[in-house]
Amino acid sequence: MKRATKIIILILIVLGIGGVWGIKYYNNSSKNEDLQIENVNMPMLIDLGAGTCIPCKEMVPVLDEVKKMYDGKAKVVVVDVYEHPEIADKFGITLIPTQIFLDENGREFYRHEGYFPKEDIIKVFDEMGVK
């Protein structure tokens, strides 16, 4: 019984640390990042989530990689829906995370709800003609 208790405590500590990191990531991204989502004139991926959401936190490393891969070719924006509810309302978000791809004219090209693997994001950008 003692070993099981130790394992549970360890898991809770790890989840707690991950939760704090996820909250900080979304809050920092939403505050420090250029949240301009109109008149960008390039394809864009908007990830709408929150630091308290487990699938949103799982998206963090994926979004970091995608942002680096498409630097200068497409804009990747992370929005905390609790910090910026007006953006969530604008896109009619009912579930987080939600990823919305906009073409260079700002029209919605594709929408996905839930965790979205990097390979699938790349496929959507390929369909959009972003290389």
Closest by CA position to 113, among listed 87, 127, 91, 93: 93
Class of residue 109 by CB neighbours under 10 A (exposed 0-12, middle 13-18, buried 19+): middle
Give catalytic residues, as residue numbers.
53, 56
Hey, what amino acid is at 32? N
Tokens of 3: 């070993």
